[in-house]
Structure 1
Amino acid sequence: MSDMAEPMQQQLANASAVLARTRSLFDASVLALAQRCQDGGRLNNKRLDEQQVASFEMAWAGAELLAAETAIAALTPASAPLDARLALVFTVDAVVALLDRLDVMLAETGQDPAAVDVLRALPEWRALRQAAGGSEALQAVGRGVIDAQGVVGEVVLDEQHALAQDAFRRFAQEVVAPQAEAIHRHDLTVPESLLQPMREMGVFGLAIPEEHGGSAPNDHDDTLLMVVVTEALSEGSLAAAGSLITRPEILTRALLAGGTDEQKHHWLPRLAAGDPLCAIAMTEPDYGSDLAACQLKGTRAPGGWLLNGAKTWCTFAGKAGVLMVVTRTDPDRSLGHKGLSVLLAEKPSFDTHEFEVKQEGGGTLSGRAIPTIGYRGMHSFDLSFQDYFVPDANVIGGEAGLGKGFYYTLAGMVGGRMQTSARACGVMRAALRAAVRYTQDRKVFGAPLAALALPQAKIARMAARLAACRRLAYTVAGIVDTGNGRMEASLVKLLACRSAELVTREALQLHGGMGYAEETPVSRYFVDARVLSIFEGAEETLALKVVARALMERALGVAPTGA
């Protein structure tokens, strides 16, 4: 960096050297764990389950390592000094965690832990930890973040994406944020005063090709635009704005992956217009994230299917006019995921927390909103289907789509995880900026909180985590648009969602007693952030069934099988 002092250049060189050594040990540890879990060159599910503790640590290590590598690699001679310092702060925190995780991996697989001790003793690591992670360095970074009013981790965008970011940030600040507290505190459904302007701004058609009424290019995806818009809206409110795009994204991907031409022409323009709004009914009371085990039954009837069973945690099911229902259409349960199909169940829209739909033929669909500590506005519902009729025309893919519902659903999971990462970044950005404002205004013992060493260090670490997650999310968005990045999307989802919990927790803590008051927005950020590690793949399932498995398959050189 041309305007950086020589010590900074040395810190960056040390960071690169430490990360390279850590990557080498991590890759060797992944291979060793994979070899313990394989049988005949393929991963054995029973052995994988026996290594869940080590696998969980491995997945987290993979996420933290990739984020640190990405943060350091993104620095250029034109990078601002604060960006470099934030990347170094995150790298130090990440490596501290990585060394402990590598210890667990080696211990659980019976390997010699001496290799981790060697890393801990590296002169480059000791110098980096003191120079970039010591109290003096953290205080200096914290003061820089405070001077910047918490606006950190900005990624250079092209004109199209920059204009979108600016427009949706303004909308979030001027339209969403003023309504967010009332929606949260009074447990309201997202009102038309937010939904209609978002329809007019094209929010619901971001994943839908232009030829079908959306704003996405016809010949490629634009995941970056989805990330930019989602992050901006989530800064205003996770539940009242930032999460509205996820459901049409998942349904759109399913239709594009398997829908007939007639279904695409019928549904995609309507989804792009936000009429109807949609919800995704996947999770069941006894099976959680185990989609392949779902039991909601679809039985043939003249002209269509009758649905019987229950779904839970179906977000926005009340307001939605159509539900994407993952259904077991083959009675042979031994088929697992191969017996699933996706049916589109239409219903009236309700603003209430309970509803019941009665069809002329006698079928019923009832729903009840689940009371939650946060993420209010969208509402997640328990659903009960009793002989609820869905016509053949609403089976995605028609007759040829029967038994392929699992794959159609997975088509939207990568996008859903990227969106959730962006949602986490938006909440973190709101929390960090709120914390900076409060610490500048709040005086203790005769001085602003912002002038004290510990608040400065806390703010530095919060900002470093946000900046690293933003950089990783934006980078992975580009990878996803090439048709790759399934595992990387899971890694950034894993890291960003837990990071949102940490950042909002610290932001609340810096507010003291006021942070615990409902009238303070940071209390809403805190309870909203807690849900992020649960939906779009609970972090345990994501870490074990997707990330760890993919890392080990990559190490063994076998074809990936995870979701």
Structure 2
Amino acid sequence: MEMEKSELSELEDVVSSCNYHIERVLTRCRQAAVDPEYDQVLAYELAHTAASVQASNSALNYARRGSTQLKLAQVFVADVVDTIISGAVKHEHIFDLPSNEYEYMVAFRRRYGNPNFTSQLAETQGDRGLDAEFELLQDTFRRFAEQKLFPVADEIHRRNLDIPEEIISELGEMGAFGLSIPEAYGGFATGGGNDYLAMVVATEELSRGSLGAGGSLITRPEILTRALLRGGTEEQKQRWLPKLASGEIMNAVAVTEPDYGSDVANIKTTATRDGEGWLINGVKTWCTFAGRADVLMLLARTDPDRTKAHRGLSLFIIEKERFPGHAFRFTKPHPTRADLIGKIEGRAIDTLGYRGMHSYELSIENWWVPNDSLVGGEQGLGKGFYFQMEGFENGRIQTAARAIGVMQAAYEQALRYASDRKVFGKSVSEYQLTKVKLAKMAAHIQAARQFAYDVSTLMAKGEGVLEASMIKAHVCNTAEWITREAMQIHGGMGYAEEYSVSRLFVDARVLSIFEGADETLSLKVIAKRLLDPK
């Protein structure tokens, strides 16, 4: 026990050094006037290094729970130290480490990155550290994933099918769509410190079953919910939130445009006043679930003065019919002009993975909506960018939870396959290299999970906006690496659609692209805020 206390103290010291190092680097960057717009490589690496250090703080808190937790944290933090040392070599004028600190970190890395130490943890996952209420929640959604999602996930992926309606309806009955909706509007959020945690736990388990047919289903109502809570009128909240909470309606998010991916401020889709409503015209892309959705959350330019950028954008809720399959087209007449027919056409974009929900390109022509479709009414005019960003910030922590679920599934499948598969006379799991890979997977997954729990607690307090971006950037990159390693452990069979790990690999690839592309998120949000905290 005394040795464990000594090891915990050692971990506390090295995590403290990592935090001090980041603060020192930030100070030097500010003094050197480092600009994320021009010093992009440095700023990008700074953002990811800072995010990994934040994750190490969560790993340290987890380590205080016991011996197993401590070992997993030691493996993870050893890799964080490796990142810091590498940064010091590449950017020594900014990231340099004093010789005594460098030697201390190298010694820690040598001890806990040592294959002989790491390989002992190949099948060690550790507990989640949840209380009984959330263990029950986790178990409920895990059973749903195993009974309802696993049996259909591969078929949906291979044939690019629609999500079965029974999955949507059963999730609605379970309350999955109302986890972040206040009780006053038919949801389950009480306004306490654990509202976001419930969403994170549920999302991980659903994503473990299927990213496209499970975890991502509850992201869309989350985004619209946050936008409505931030800027909607009371009438709009009363109208839409109970229906979202029950699953009576499902929504899609129409923000991105073909020429303006993450550059939301410059979108071209317009909404112009027309009698008692608005005429919508434009093209949207990557509008996931647009066919099945009952409503679109659409961002449009209401002020023709493009110099106002994001201050000229407003948010609308557009009702539509449900359509199955990969393409749809529907029309409706203008309420007062017989010569004007509104039209919305959608075409699903073929993708490597993330199948089931389908992501569409939408063409919208002269689509008339009444004034009450404008989120916030007249008071919301020109504030749509801020309303939708409220939803996207929430979406980032949820995307991290989706990544954790995908990673967990990949780890479990790799561990199972390595135990069953024999190569050169012994199982794959007996080889040191495999053991080290599995141990690192487990350590990084647990650190990511604890980081997500910590960020969810911050967000429940109205904080954690920067941290939500940091965890999204950090965890989604980790998911790509872990699913690749899981695929590699499967050898040739990992490349076959017969095994689910191939689906997990291509699903993981999308995580660092949507909800804020990794580069844009790292430079425009994380590095910018770190370097200018005002």
Q: TM-score range by the shorter chain?
A: over 0.9
Matched, 1:74 2:56: no
| CA distance 1:443–1:254, change in 2 (3 Å) | same
Tell me the equivalent position of 2:359: 380
| CA distance 1:102–1:293, change in 2 (3 Å) | farther
Which residue of 98, 117, 127 maps to 1:137? 117
Looking at structure 2, the residues matched to 153 and 34 of structure 1 have their Cα atoms a distance apart, in angstroms, of 40
Matched, 1:291 2:264: yes
Tell me the equivalent position of 1:121: 103
Looking at structure 2, the residues matched to 164 and 497 of structure 1 have their Cα atoms a distance apart, in angstroms, of 24
The AA in structure 1 aligned to 2:417 is Y
Which residue of 152, 169, 194 maps to 1:196? 169
Tell me the equivalent position of 1:41: none
Matched, 1:27 2:23: yes
Query: Shift in Å at residue 70 of structure 1?
Result: 1.9
Q: Give yes or no for contact 2:88–2:97 (8 Å, CA) kept in 1.
A: no
The AA in structure 2 aligned to 1:141 is L
Q: Give yes or no for contact 1:247–1:278 (8 Å, CA) kept in 2.
A: yes
Looking at structure 2, the residues matched to 385 and 102 of structure 1 have their Cα atoms a distance apart, in angstroms, of 51
Looking at structure 2, the residues matched to 242 and 538 of structure 1 have their Cα atoms a distance apart, in angstroms, of 19
Looking at structure 1, the residues matched to 135 and 117 of structure 2 have their Cα atoms a distance apart, in angstroms, of 32
| CA distance 1:407–1:117, change in 2 (3 Å) | same
The AA in structure 1 aligned to 2:17 is R
| CA distance 1:370–1:116, change in 2 (3 Å) | farther
The AA in structure 2 aligned to 1:182 is E
Which residue of 428, 437, 450 maps to 1:471? 450
The AA in structure 1 aligned to 2:52 is E
Identity across the alignment (%): 46
Q: Give yes or no for contact 2:68–2:126 (8 Å, CA) kept in 1.
A: no
Tell me the equivalent position of 1:360: 333
Query: Shift in Å at residue 219 of structure 1?
Result: 6.5
Which residue of 491, 508, 511 maps to 2:470? 491
Tell me the equivalent position of 1:318: 291
| CA distance 1:426–1:331, change in 2 (3 Å) | same
Looking at structure 2, the residues matched to 73 and 155 of structure 1 have their Cα atoms a distance apart, in angstroms, of 12
The AA in structure 2 aligned to 1:192 is E
| CA RMSD after TM alignment | 1.6
The AA in structure 2 aligned to 1:28 is R
The AA in structure 1 aligned to 2:115 is S
SS at the partner of 1:238?
coil
Tell me the equivalent position of 2:155: 182
Which residue of 128, 135, 141 maps to 1:155? 128
The AA in structure 1 aligned to 2:18 is T
Tell me the equivalent position of 2:14: 18
Q: Give yes or no for contact 1:375–1:528 (8 Å, CA) kept in 2.
A: yes
**Does 368-377 or 255-264 show the bigger shift?**
255-264
Structure 1 residues 110-136: Cα deviation after superposition (integer angstroms, max 9, x where no partner): x5x6536553323xx343223211111
Structure 1 residues 461-514: Cα deviation after superposition (integer angstroms, max 9, x where no partner): 111110110111111111111111111111111111111111110000000011
Looking at structure 1, the residues matched to 408 and 73 of structure 2 have their Cα atoms a distance apart, in angstroms, of 16
Unpaired segments ≥5 residues, structure 2: 335-340
Tell me the equivalent position of 1:43: none
Q: Give yes or no for contact 2:63–2:71 (8 Å, CA) kept in 1.
A: no
Query: Shift in Å at residue 73 of structure 1?
Result: 2.8
Structure 1 residues 15-50: Cα deviation after superposition (integer angstroms, max 9, x where no partner): 322232232222111122123338xxxxxxxx4311
SS at the partner of 1:408?
helix
Looking at structure 1, the residues matched to 496 and 434 of structure 2 have their Cα atoms a distance apart, in angstroms, of 20
SS at the partner of 1:276?
coil
**Does 65-74 or 393-402 show the bigger shift?**
65-74
Tell me the equivalent position of 2:338: none
Query: Shift in Å at residue 153 of structure 1?
Result: 4.3
Query: Shift in Å at residue 9 of structure 1?
Result: 3.9
Q: Give yes or no for contact 1:243–1:423 (8 Å, CA) kept in 2.
A: yes
Looking at structure 2, the residues matched to 404 and 339 of structure 1 have their Cα atoms a distance apart, in angstroms, of 8
Matched, 1:529 2:508: yes
Alignment of 1:329-344 (within 5 A): 329-344=302-317
Query: Shift in Å at residue 101 of structure 1?
Result: 2.2
Q: Give yes or no for contact 2:258–2:283 (8 Å, CA) kept in 1.
A: yes
Which residue of 412, 426, 429 maps to 1:433? 412
Q: Give yes or no for contact 2:153–2:213 (8 Å, CA) kept in 1.
A: yes
TM-score, scaled relative to structure 2: 0.96
TM-score, scaled relative to structure 1: 0.91
Which residue of 64, 75, 81 maps to 1:89? 75
| CA distance 1:528–1:117, change in 2 (3 Å) | farther
Looking at structure 1, the residues matched to 14 and 175 of structure 2 have their Cα atoms a distance apart, in angstroms, of 45
SS at the partner of 1:376?
coil
The AA in structure 2 aligned to 1:19 is V
Q: Give yes or no for contact 1:54–1:104 (8 Å, CA) kept in 2.
A: no
Looking at structure 2, the residues matched to 126 and 521 of structure 1 have their Cα atoms a distance apart, in angstroms, of 38
